[in-house]
Structures are given as structure tokens and as C-alpha cells.
């Protein structure tokens, strides 16, 4: 590659990133997938797999869950499920219960850490705050919208 080609390529990258590489808050279309709101799926959710949740965060309407599980030889299927009903907590705030469902038929034992992103906008209620209780996560999660 000549110096002119290299300079042209660098200029192209600068122009492209100046117009399209700005950091934006994630929107629901930027989440990997959406929460499933269904009593049937919530009750059938496979939350007994051997996994531990390490971190949970919400940016805009995307919930990111980082977790560890034993595996590494095959594919796993994950979903975030919520029941259809909203309850009230002791402070009279709306509350939703969630489960990270992991279907892991992998016989390997390597400790794998991964993150999944879910659009949780379907969990919004009246007002601008819903308390989320995620199974296998000890801290309530304030979802502000």
C-alpha cells in the first residue's frame, strides 16, 4: 500500500467515524432481544441450571446481565422471562419478577462468563419507575423510564 493509499484510507475512516461513530444511548432496537412477558413461559422457565449472575445493569431500555455457567462445548439457549402481572412492593411501587432462563445441555465443565442484553421496555408500568426482582440476583433493580 502506498503512502497516498494509506492517507486516503485514514481520511475515509475519520470522515466515516465523524458522521456515524458517536456514542448513543441504546434504544430497544439496539438490544440483542426482548424480554418475554408470559405467565406460561415464566412458570416453565428453566432457572435451575447451574449458573450465577455476576452483574446487572440497565442503560435506557436495555438490561445487560453478565453471568457464569459451566459449559463450553455446545450452544445454550437463554431468555429473560417475566410474568404478566405487576404487584406492589411495601412502598406501593410497581414490581415485576423476572427469571433468566438458561437451557444448557452441554456436558462440559469449563467456567464460561458471558453477557446478554434484553429490551425490557415491555415491563414499563404507570409512572416512571418499576422495581425488578431478578431470580438469582439478591438486589432489587430500579428500572427508571
What's the per-residue H, E or C state across 18-75?
HHHCCCCCCCHHHCCEECEECHHHHHHCCCCCCEEEEEEEEECCEEEEEEEEEECCCC
* Sign, Cα dihedral of 18, 32, 76, 108: positive
Query: Mean pLDDT score of the chain, rounded to an integer?
Result: 81
**Could you tell me whether strands 33-34 and 36-37 are parallel, antiparallel, or unpaired per DSSP bridges?**
unpaired
d(CA 87, CA 118): 21
| Residue 71, C-alpha cell as written in the block | 459449559
pTM above 0.85, yes or no: no
Q: 17-60 pLDDT, tens per residue? A: 333 433 333 344 589 999 999 999 999 987 767 899 999 999 99
- Residue 46 phi/psi, 5-degree rounding, is -85, 85
Structural domains for the chain:
28-144 (2.60.40.2370)
First CA to last CA across the chain, in angstroms?
50
| Residue 95, C-alpha cell as written in the block | 414490581
| Predicted local confidence at residue 2, as pLDDT | 56
| Predicted local confidence at residue 25, as pLDDT | 38
| Predicted local confidence at residue 1, as pLDDT | 53
CA 112, 80, 129: angle at the middle one, nearest 5?
120
Amino acid at each position: 500500500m502506498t503512502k497516498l493509499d494509506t492517507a486516503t484510507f485514514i481520511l475515509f475512516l475519520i470522515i466515516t467515524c465523524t458522521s456515524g461513530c458517536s456514542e448513543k444511548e441504546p434504544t430497544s432496537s439496539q438490544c440483542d432481544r426482548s424480554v418475554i412477558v408470559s405467565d406460561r413461559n415464566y412458570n416453565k422457565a428453566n432457572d435451575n441450571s447451574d449458573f450465577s449472575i455476576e452483574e446487572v445493569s440497565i442503560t435506557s431500555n436495555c438490561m445487560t446481565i453478565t453471568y457464569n455457567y459451566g459449559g463450553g462445548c455446545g450452544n445454550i439457549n437463554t431468555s429473560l422471562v417475566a410474568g404478566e402481572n405487576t404487584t406492589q412492593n411495601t412502598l406501593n411501587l410497581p414490581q415485576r419478577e423476572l427469571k433468566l432462563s438458561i437451557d444448557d445441555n452441554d456436558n462440559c465443565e469449563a467456567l464460561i462468563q458471558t453477557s446478554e442484553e434484553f429490551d425490557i421496555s415491555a415491563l414499563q408500568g404507570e409512572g416512571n419507575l418499576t422495581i425488578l426482582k431478578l431470580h438469582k440476583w439478591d438486589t432489587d433493580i430500579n428500572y427508571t423510564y
